[in-house]
């Protein structure tokens, strides 16, 4: 069983801290195993009795009655029998709890939902509450307000390359090729052929993620447009775009009218479901964010590739997507950078050009700039890749991440070069 040490350590650190632990992330990325197996085993190994752990998986049909908040509350309270003991309550996939009319109040606007259940248990000094959910809306500002700032989020991602390689039977190069092809959904590691892996990933997209979005937002007869939008975003990973541009693409390529506002709404649904992430542009010299265009990345490379039937496996785009995911997983704030270049052309006319920096990476007071490149062996290619980094007017660390393995080295400008495999496997790659 994959140990998911990063997330297990966070749960252990937050144990008995008086706050509800909210474990979020894409469906099938390992949240349930983390809570119901790994963390449960940790508690049992450290003196907690089985009777002190109350666990309920709400995506199981046999537990469907507990999607009613009153039934859920009653089920758990019956098992908290001894006020002299400490209990650990695990509620898996809590977003499945329905909001119902309060049967004890005449007001038709009086509702009861999972928030009421959680707040009730948080009032009990002998209860430590953990929930998992596959929808970021459960962490929206109104929900956090009701938690009264007593909720801690533990975001779980698909397997990192380091986790994938730890469980992989093969060398680093083979592991990296499989990782950027099939991604890090944990079950993929148990499958042994392309046909099985691709079928599993396609089914996840269609029967789980897209269906979830359609059902959750009550969208009718729009699955074709949703799937096409996912295709376009998958094909354009690492490219700047906007809802307006995407709307024009629908119009010119598929003769389909879909407004920018609707596209923006649909992308928001994918972001809420943790399927897609978006990265804003940051003007390094101007020290300001730009509203549009943005970059969109898939949370898992295998899902991205399955969306395109494994046809577009350009390693440079997949490297960029993997790098983005890994930096976010490590807790960095990641933006796309731009830096302005002014000059004159051959005719002597002045021009202004925005050069792109793949990632501006921040955590606390630390900042780093990262450029992703297949290789920099050719001097002209290297000069092109480095131009944006050379123009940055500060002394923060600058990195170029290249294909495959490269022993880290630093050039005369202080720019650090490292291979993608080592970068993703190193515990602190930005100190390399």
Whether residue 281 has pLDDT greater than 70: yes
Q: What is the mean pLDDT of residues 103-116?
A: 92
Q: Please provide residue 162's backbone torsions phi and psi, each rounded to the nearest 5 degrees.
A: -60, -45
Whether residue 293 has pLDDT greater than 60: yes
Let me know: does 103 contact 151? Beta carbons within 8 Å.
no
The contacts of residue 190 (CB under 8 Å, 6+ apart) are: none
Lowest-confidence segment of 217-226, 254-263, 300-309, 314-323 by average pLDDT? 217-226
Quote the CA–CA distance of 194 and 200 in Å, as a whole number. Answer: 10
pLDDT value of position 146: 67
Q: 5-155 has which fold?
A: Rossmann fold (3.40.50)
Q: What is the DSSP string of 291-323?
A: EEEEEEEES-HHHHHHHTTT----HHHHHHHHH
Let me know: does 137 contact 163? Beta carbons within 8 Å.
no
Q: For the chain, give the mean pLDDT.
A: 92
pLDDT value of position 148: 64
Quote the CA–CA distance of 327 and 324 in Å, as a whole number. Answer: 5
Whether residue 138 has pLDDT greater than 80: no
Q: How far is residue 215 from each of residues 211, 220, 266, 267, 418, measured CA to CA in Å?
A: 6, 9, 13, 16, 44
Residue-wise pLDDT for 144-168, tens only, equals 666 767 889 999 999 999 999 999 9
Residue-wise pLDDT for 356-385, tens only, equals 999 999 998 899 999 999 888 888 888 888
91 - beta bridge partners?
56, 131
Percent of the chain with pLDDT over 70: 97
The confidence band for 274, taking pLDDT boundaries of 50, 70 and 90, is very high
CA atoms within 13 A on the CB side of 385: 24
Q: What is the mean pLDDT of residues 339-347?
A: 85
Name the residue ranges covered by the structural domains of the chain: 5-155, 161-277+301-306
Helix (H, G, I), strand (E, B) or coil at 219: coil
Residue-wise pLDDT for 187-217, tens only, equals 999 999 999 999 999 999 999 999 988 888 8
Quote the CA–CA distance of 153 and 132 in Å, as a whole number. Answer: 10
Quote the CA–CA distance of 282 and 247 in Å, as a whole number. Answer: 24
pLDDT value of position 141: 57
């Amino acid at each position: 069983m994959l140990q998911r040490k990063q997330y297990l350590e966070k749960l252990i650190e937050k144990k008995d801290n008086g706050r509800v632990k909210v474990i979020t992330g894409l469906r099938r990325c390992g949240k349930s195993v983390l809570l119901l197996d790994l963390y449960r085993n940790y508690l049992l190994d450290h003196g907690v009795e089985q009777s002190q752990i109350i666990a309920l998986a709400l995506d199981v049909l046999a537990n469907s009655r507990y999607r009613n908040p009153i039934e859920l509350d009653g089920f758990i309270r019956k098992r908290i029998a001894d006020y002299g003991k400490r209990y650990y309550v695990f509620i898996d996939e809590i977003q499945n709890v329905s909001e119902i009319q309060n049967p004890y109040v005449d007001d038709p606007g009086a509702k009861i939902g999972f928030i009421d259940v959680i707040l009730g248990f948080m009032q009990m000094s002998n209860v430590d509450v953990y929930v998992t959910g596959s929808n970021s809306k459960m962490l929206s500002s109104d929900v956090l307000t009701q938690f009264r700032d007593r909720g801690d989020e533990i975001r779980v991602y698909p397997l990192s390359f380091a986790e994938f390689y730890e469980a992989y039977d093969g060398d680093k190069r083979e592991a990296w090729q499989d990782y950027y092809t099939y991604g890090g959904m944990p079950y993929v590691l148990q499958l042994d052929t392309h046909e099985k892996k691709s079928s599993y990933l396609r089914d996840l997209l269609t029967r789980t993620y897209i269906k979830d979005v359609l059902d959750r937002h009550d969208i009718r007869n729009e699955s074709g447009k949703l799937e096409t939008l996912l295709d376009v975003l998958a094909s354009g990973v690492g490219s700047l775009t906007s809802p307006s541009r995407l709307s024009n693409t629908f119009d010119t390529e598929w003769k389909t009218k879909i407004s920018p506002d609707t596209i923006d709404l649909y992308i928001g649904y994918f972001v809420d479901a943790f399927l897609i992430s978006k990265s804003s542009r940051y003007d390094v010299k101007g020290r300001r964010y730009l509203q549009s265009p943005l970059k969109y990345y898939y949370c898992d490379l295998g899902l991205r590739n399955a969306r395109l039937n494994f046809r577009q496996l350009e390693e440079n785009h997949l490297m960029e997507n993997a790098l983005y995911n890994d930096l976010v997983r490590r807790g960095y704030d990641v933006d796309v950078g731009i830096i302005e270049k002014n000059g004159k052309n051959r005719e002597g006319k002045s021009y202004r050009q925005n050069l792109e920096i793949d990632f501006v990476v921040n955590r606390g007071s630390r900042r780093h700039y990262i450029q992703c490149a297949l290789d920099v062996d050719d001097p002209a290619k290297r000069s092109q890749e480095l131009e944006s980094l050379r123009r940055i007017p500060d002394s923060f660390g600058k990195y170029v991440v290249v294909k495959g393995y490269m022993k880290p080295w630093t050039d005369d400008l202080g720019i650090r070069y490292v291979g993608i495999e080592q970068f993703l496997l190193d515990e602190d790659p930005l100190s390399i």
